[in-house]
Structure 1
Amino acid sequence: MRQLLVVLFTISNAATSIAQDWTGFRGDGSGITRADLPTWWSPEEGIAWQAGIPGYGQSSPVVWDNHVYVTSSEGPFQHDCQVHAFDLQSGNKLWTSHIDATTKVENYFRNSRAAPTCCVDADGVYSFFASGDVTAMSHDGLVRWTTPVIKTYGEVDNERGVASSLAQTDDHLFVLVDHHGPSYLLAINKHDGEIAWKADRGDRVPSWSSPVSARLGGRDIIITSSSDTVDAYDAETGESLWQLDGLQGNHIPSASIVGDEVFVGSTTMYGGATDEDATAGSNCCIRLTSTDGKPGYEVRWGAERANSYYSTPLAFAGYVYYVNKVGVLYCIDQATGEQRFAKRIGNPCWASAIAVTRTDGEQFVYFVTKNGFTIILQPGDEYDPIARNQLYDASAMMDAREAAEKQRRANAVPADQMAPKTGPEKVFAGMPESQLHQMFLYGDPMVYGVAVAGDCLLIRTGQHLFCVGE
């Protein structure tokens, strides 16, 4: 008797309810929720508040009750790791807690800078930083425990640092570290920070994707899409349940799980996957199965043309959406993998898309691009935008650019303390920062992550948090 996977959702089962909590990266791991989000705003209207974030960070917001949590870091070697709590209604900063990094990570604009997104539950907020430090805090900012993962298990050989976000079940947090060296998936007890288990993954291609939790019958499982494989693990024991190998380029996007389906994002990248056809086919759909209690999978389709760079694929209303590194949006039929359209939306998305169903039944998909524009679509076979909203004007953009440049100068690593660049970064080591900014389209303010809280859309740049809504 085949049993299909049912994903744990954080939204209420009531048809008219509105989700209040956004408990991790992409909410419950699907990027889908119920909310009456606004469909129109501008720098002058429709933005409830904005707040400055000390330091610099690339993580997405998470929400519990009326608290919004984001992270940042400061110092030439990111020695000062910070967790910030903001009031959802007013945007006032409630507290900042500081964690002393146990390993050094250069504060370089192409490195991970507080990129992992937190998890949150009724007991508090759980953070993870490129330094390898996992920390549990109460909702009023008191540190309960800290576990130094990288200090415990050895330095990480990853050209741009650790950026994988945490996943969670009721009892455990999950940390994925894939690099040129002994790689692993780690389970940490939420109560006391003790290591519950460690699953060794061998030497891997460096990756920045995040694990995702799901529930198969009465069993929690962890799915990783990373370093050319998709793997499933038992959440309680770390037992390897199955592995799909032979993929290319799934080093940045995380897996997206909806119902009994896993959607994998892949991309061509410098120093990594280069075969465009193989990479397109690695943007695939996997169906999760269970036969006689044994978890398994079957590959449903691989896309003919699709590419998912920084943002994770979004499956919603019969379609799967992917955005590549130059801002081309691919829409794929969820049932067949056939392309419905490909459209340039003006800028790439570093923040993963979200999908909402309103209380009146209308459905929308929100793509927040790197430069602060939000394109809102109604799902369909054709590109049908209903709005394109701007977050900040030219003056605010210039102010943010100057603030980010000032922050980079203040946190610059002394030349005599810089570590030699490795991997693809060796090619760029001698180039001026301005040239690299132009080559890779870096330019603050950059939108890194989004979240939904009630009927509000939260948008995070490197140094600011915006709340769009009433």
Structure 2
Amino acid sequence: MRRSRMDSGRKLWVENVFTVYLLRISFVLIVAAPIHAGENWTGFRGDGSSTVTADLPTRWSSDEGIAWQADIHGYGQSSPVVWGDHVYVTSSEGPWQQDCQVHAFDLQSGTRLWTTHMEATTKVENYFRNSRAAPTCCVDESGVYSFFASGDVTSMTHHGEIRWSTPIIKTYGEVDNERGVASSLSQTDTHLFVLVDHHGPSYLLAVDKRSGDVDWKTDRGDRVPSWSSPVIAKIGKRNIVVTSSADTVDAYDAATGESLWQLDGLQGNHIPSASVAGNRILVGSTTMYGGATDEDAVAGSNCCIELTEDDGKLGYKVRWGAERANSYYSTPLAFAGYVYYVNKVGVLYCVDQETGEQVFAKRIGNPCWASAVGVTRPDGEQLVYLVLKNGFTIVLRPSDEYDQIARNQLYDAGAMMDAREAAENQRKANTVPADEAKPKSGPEKIFANMPESQLHQMFSYGDPMVYGVAVAGDRLLIRTGQTLFCVGGKAD
């Protein structure tokens, strides 16, 4: 009996010790793991597909359903990215955009946690038609990686401490691009990828995330200026960098920079980026001033490419070119069997994802500079969120017909006037003296002597403009030039 009690006591002691051990291990894992790890939005258009499982609200207004809004110092055109409870955006200030800034906000409250300033190594005029902090960051468990029109790629921790900075343009030469560099970063676990296409030696390069060293650089020859971003696709375990830019689509081995294939003969793919949908790449193209003007050729350039592999050799097959489509600033969205495009005057084109045949075309009232998001709710319902340039969000149910279930306003007339005034004051404070400004090149020569008000009217500029979005769980983040909004986080 005594031995039995001793054994029982020893067993109980072992069980208690083991329980404490498990609790300690669980605590370490909880602390070490990122908060809401499944809700990270790690780069431009999330993982490159702009699709997500989330429980977003479907209805809100300027005075209901907005969890918070936060001012952003300077001015920026990049999209938000999210890691855990941190939301990151970039901006720039100064007549030459010499002050490059990365900001971190708390996802739950909108409190600004920190701002890190970096001195630009290359001057870029702070002009409202130029790229102003347009490239979107990448983020992972180690920190956040930024890229600016100055050509500076920078890595910093989640606390805002700079780890390294690599001056791309200063290293490889000035960029002859009349609107400045605006391509966003893309990433794998180990590398960042930077695309620079311009009237001059263009290139794609891979930057090591740990050190900032350039591991490879692939020359692309002299190109038409372009502002689209590279995307990462996968064939098996192999990462491929896909660029839809300057009238071609190219694929490169992410490990070596080796050119795998090129599709040429396209028109107008200078602004929209490619979109990844499994083993298919959706290409966006648009007619543009001083560039592609053939509407039929541009429509066909809004195409679907299937990645192929034959005995280890990677290739492609063009599945279709759209009958009629045009994708202006926003990237096409492939979702729920359809592909969605929005043109420069606010016409939404929906085509069948398998055939490219037009399903419908509908004027939605305003173009999209932010790319559409495909959302699958926890109950399985699928919805498309189109955040228009003027701050309205249209929520659609994917269908063979235009099935709008909501149209939501982000800000009222008073807030719009305040934002317009703040943006105008920012432009005036950051104007380059006339005797220091460089002569405009390309199509910008024609606009150089026009009043700013006329240019605003011609090209539908006018703050506040929505530039980008991100999704984190039950929250939709919407970014204008100087404000970050969080929609949701409350009862629908």
Q: Judging by fraction of residues, say which structure has more helix.
A: 2
For 1:192 and 1:386, the matched residues in 2 are separated by 48
RMSD: 0.8
Query: Out of 191, 196, 220, which is 2:215 matched to?
Result: 196
Shift of 1:454: 1.1
Shift of 1:215: 1.6
1:145 counterpart = 2:164: yes
Checking the alignment, whether the CA contact within 8 Å between 1:147 and 1:194 is kept in structure 2 is yes
Counterpart in the other structure of 1:282:
301
1:128 counterpart = 2:144: no
Counterpart in the other structure of 1:429:
448
Counterpart in the other structure of 2:127:
108
The farther-off stretch of 210-219 and 26-35 is: 210-219
Question: Alignment partner of 2:435: what SS?
Answer: helix
Runs of 4+ in structure 1 off by over 3 angstroms are none
Report the residue type matching 1:20 in the other structure.
E
For 2:313 and 2:155, the matched residues in 1 are separated by 34
Question: Alignment partner of 1:37: what SS?
Answer: coil
Question: Alignment partner of 1:170: what SS?
Answer: coil
1:466 counterpart = 2:485: yes
Query: Out of 98, 109, 129, which is 1:79 matched to?
Result: 98
Checking the alignment, whether the CA contact within 8 Å between 1:330 and 1:343 is kept in structure 2 is yes
Checking the alignment, whether the CA contact within 8 Å between 1:35 and 1:455 is kept in structure 2 is yes
Counterpart in the other structure of 1:98:
117
1:213 counterpart = 2:213: no
Checking the alignment, whether the CA contact within 8 Å between 2:234 and 2:279 is kept in structure 1 is no
User: What percentage of aligned pairs have identical amino acids?
Assistant: 80
Question: Alignment partner of 2:419: what SS?
Answer: helix
For 2:92 and 2:359, the matched residues in 1 are separated by 41
Checking the alignment, whether the CA contact within 8 Å between 1:19 and 1:34 is kept in structure 2 is no
Question: Alignment partner of 1:417: what SS?
Answer: coil
For 1:216 and 1:451, the matched residues in 2 are separated by 26
For 1:73 and 1:18, the matched residues in 2 are separated by 29
For 2:430 and 2:226, the matched residues in 1 are separated by 25
Report the residue type matching 2:444 in the other structure.
E
For 1:95 and 1:292, the matched residues in 2 are separated by 51
Shift of 1:216: 1.2
Write the deviation string for residues 144-192 of structure 1: whole angstroms up to 9, x where unpaired.
0000000000000001000000000000000000000000001000000
Which structure 2 segments of 5+ residues have no match?
1-35
Report the residue type matching 1:107 in the other structure.
N
For 1:467 and 1:160, the matched residues in 2 are separated by 30
Query: Out of 447, 452, 458, which is 2:471 matched to?
Result: 452
Question: Alignment partner of 1:415: what SS?
Answer: coil
Question: Alignment partner of 2:461: what SS?
Answer: coil
Counterpart in the other structure of 1:5:
none
Write the deviation string for residues 122-146 of structure 1: whole angstroms up to 9, x where unpaired.
0000000000000000000000000
Shift of 1:18: 9.1
For 1:40 and 1:19, the matched residues in 2 are separated by 24
For 2:201 and 2:123, the matched residues in 1 are separated by 19
TM-score for the superposition, normalised by structure 1? 0.96
Which structure 1 segments of 5+ residues have no match?
1-16
For 2:83 and 2:468, the matched residues in 1 are separated by 17
Question: Alignment partner of 2:297: what SS?
Answer: helix
Checking the alignment, whether the CA contact within 8 Å between 1:18 and 1:455 is kept in structure 2 is no
Shift of 1:19: 3.9
Write the deviation string for residues 307-353 of structure 1: whole angstroms up to 9, x where unpaired.
00000000000000000000000000001100010001000000000
For 2:224 and 2:351, the matched residues in 1 are separated by 28
For 1:218 and 1:381, the matched residues in 2 are separated by 35
For 2:397 and 2:38, the matched residues in 1 are separated by 20
Query: Out of 17, 28, 41, which is 2:60 matched to?
Result: 41
Report the residue type matching 2:45 in the other structure.
R
Report the residue type matching 2:379 in the other structure.
D
For 2:431 and 2:233, the matched residues in 1 are separated by 41
Question: Alignment partner of 1:401: what SS?
Answer: helix
For 1:18 and 1:353, the matched residues in 2 are separated by 23
Question: Alignment partner of 1:416: what SS?
Answer: coil
TM-score for the superposition, normalised by structure 2? 0.92
Counterpart in the other structure of 1:294:
313
Counterpart in the other structure of 1:360:
379
Query: Out of 243, 261, 264, which is 2:283 matched to?
Result: 264
Counterpart in the other structure of 1:10:
none
For 1:276 and 1:20, the matched residues in 2 are separated by 39
Question: Alignment partner of 1:146: what SS?
Answer: strand
Shift of 1:304: 1.2
Write the deviation string for residues 351-396 of structure 1: whole angstroms up to 9, x where unpaired.
0000110010000000000000000000011001000000000000
Counterpart in the other structure of 1:9:
none
Counterpart in the other structure of 2:11:
none
Shift of 1:214: 1.7
Counterpart in the other structure of 2:269:
250
For 1:198 and 1:216, the matched residues in 2 are separated by 22
Of structures 1 and 2, the larger Rg is shown by 2
For 2:111 and 2:444, the matched residues in 1 are separated by 39
Checking the alignment, whether the CA contact within 8 Å between 1:18 and 1:454 is kept in structure 2 is no
Q: What pairs up with 1:408-427 in 2 under 5 angstroms? A: 408-427=427-446
Counterpart in the other structure of 2:391:
372
Checking the alignment, whether the CA contact within 8 Å between 1:19 and 1:35 is kept in structure 2 is no
For 2:291 and 2:164, the matched residues in 1 are separated by 37
Question: Alignment partner of 2:420: what SS?
Answer: helix
Checking the alignment, whether the CA contact within 8 Å between 1:18 and 1:34 is kept in structure 2 is no
Report the residue type matching 2:79 in the other structure.
S
Question: Alignment partner of 1:120: what SS?
Answer: strand
For 1:168 and 1:259, the matched residues in 2 are separated by 17
Report the residue type matching 1:60 in the other structure.
S
